[in-house]
Amino acid sequence: MNQTIPDAGDMTALMREVAAMIVTALNLEMSPAEIAPDTPLYGDGLGLDSIDILEVALAVSKHYGYQLRADDEENVKIFTSLSSLAGNIAANRTK
């Protein structure tokens, strides 16, 4: 399994895309540009709760072709910030 590591430009574009997906999936009253790469997604920061995280996970599976499992012990790390979620998507996406 030889995956290419995205360059900084690709990651920036992916982070913008993921931020837009989060705003759309959750009907947030903010623009995607307002979500900084290192802003915490859960709790303080963006203020998402567990239901919001489930909605984001569903949107990820629809948009990127892989599932984030509720029982994955990596979820805390994956949903730490926009950049960590985008990094996980870059490593696992099938679409």
Beta-carbon contacts of residue 58 (< 8 Å; ≥ 6 apart): 25
Question: Looking at the domain assignment, is residue 3 inside a domain?
Answer: no
Question: Looking at the domain assignment, is residue 13 inside a domain?
Answer: yes
Question: Looking at the domain assignment, is residue 50 inside a domain?
Answer: yes
Confidence of residue 1 (pLDDT cuts 50, 70, 90): very low
Confidence of residue 62 (pLDDT cuts 50, 70, 90): very high
Can you say whether residue 45 is alpha, beta or left, with left for phi > 0 and alpha for psi between -120 and 50 degrees?
Answer: left
Nearest to 90 by CA among 10, 27, 20: 10
Average pLDDT over the chain, rounded to whole? Answer: 89
Taking only the tens place, the pLDDT of each residue in 36-53 is 999 899 888 899 998 999
Structural domains counted in the chain: 1
User: What is the extent of the structural domain holding 52?
Assistant: 9-30+38-92
pTM: 0.86
Across residues 51-56, what is the average pLDDT? Answer: 94
Question: What is residue 11's predicted lDDT score, i.e. its pLDDT?
Answer: 79
Kindly report the CATH number assigned to the domain that includes residue 24: 1.10.1200.10
CA–CA gap between residue 45 and residue 59 (Å, rounded): 20
Question: Looking at the domain assignment, is residue 1 inside a domain?
Answer: no
